[in-house]
Chain A
Amino acid sequence: MKVKVSHITKIFPSRNKKSKETVTALDDFSFEIPDGKLVGLLGPSGCGKSTMLNVISGLEKPTSGRVYFGEDDVTDLPPEVRGVGLVFQNYALYPHMTVRKNIMFPLENLKGDKKLTKEQMQERVEQAAKLVQITDYMERKPSQMSGGQQQRVAIARALVKLPGILLLDEPLSNLDARLRLQTREELRRIQRETGITTVFVTHDQEEAMSISDMIVVMKEGVLNQVGKPQEIYDDPVNLFVAKFLGTPPINVFRGRLAGGRLMIGSEPVLEAKAAPDREVWIGVRPEGFIPAEDGELTCSFVNVEVMGRDTTVVSTHPDCENASIRSIISSDLKVEPKNGSVKFRLKPHKVHLFDAETEERLRTELLPVGEGREHA
Chain B
Amino acid sequence: MRKNLKAWLYLLPAILFLGFFMVYPLVDVLVYSFEEGYNSASQTFMGVGLYNYSYVLHDPYFLQAVKNTLILVIITVPVSTGLALLISLGLNSIKKLKELYQTVYFLPYVTNTLAVGLVFMILFKKTPYTDGMVNMLIKLFGGSSVDFIDGPYWAKMFVLCFYTVWIVLPFKILILTSALASVNEDYYKAAKIDGASKWRVFTRITLPMISPMIFYLVITGFIGAFKAYSDAVALFGTNLNAAKMNTIVGYVYDMLYGDSGGYPSYASAAALILFAIVFTITVINLLISKKQVSV
Task: List A residues at the B interface (Cβ < 8 Å).
Answer: 57, 59, 78-81, 84-86, 88, 90, 92, 94-96, 105-106, 108-111, 141, 157-158, 161
Contacts and interface: CB of A to CB of B under 8 A. Distances in A.
Contacts of B184: 90, 92
A111 B194 CA distance: 12
B186 A88 contact: yes
Contact of A59 (B192, B195, B205, B211): B192
A80 B195 contact: yes
B193 A86 contact: yes
Nearest to B197: A109
B166 interface: no
Contacts, number: 61
B290 interface: no
Contacts of B196: 80, 105, 109
Determine the main DSSP class of B at the interface with A: helix
B271 interface: no
A109 B200 contact: yes
A109 B194 contact: yes
Interface string B15-58: 00000000000000000000000000000000000000000000
A110 B208 CA distance: 21
Given A80-B194, A95-B295, A110-B195, A88 B208 contact: no
Contacts of A79: 192-193, 195
16 contacts: A59-B193, A79-B192, A80-B192, A80-B194, A80-B196, A86-B193, A88-B186, A88-B189, A92-B184, A94-B204, A96-B208, A108-B200, A109-B195, A109-B200, A157-B194, A161-B195
B209 to A, nearest CB: 7
Contact of A92 (B190, B204, B211): B190
A141 B209 CA distance: 14
Interface residues of B, number: 20
A59 B197 CA distance: 15
B187 interface: yes
Contact of B194 (A78, A105, A141): A105
Interface in B162-221: 184, 186-187, 189-197, 200, 204-205, 208-209, 211
Contacts of A90: 184, 186
Contacts of B127: none
B187 A92 contact: yes
Interface of B: 184, 186-187, 189-197, 200, 204-205, 208-209, 211, 294-295
Nearest to A96: B208
Nearest to A59: B189
A79 B295 CA distance: 27
Nearest to A105: B194
A98 to B, nearest CB: 10
Contact of A80 (B193, B205, B295): B193
A86 B190 CA distance: 7
Contacts of B194: 80, 105-106, 109, 157, 161
Contacts of A106: 193-195
A96 B209 contact: yes
B205 A57 contact: no
Nearest to B189: A59
A84 B186 contact: no
A84 B193 contact: yes
Nearest to A154: B190
Nearest to B200: A109
A85 B193 contact: yes
Contacts of A105: 191, 194, 196, 204
Contacts of B197: 109
B197 to A, nearest CB: 7
A51 to B, nearest CB: 13
Contact of A88 (B190, B200, B204, B295): B190
A85 B192 CA distance: 11
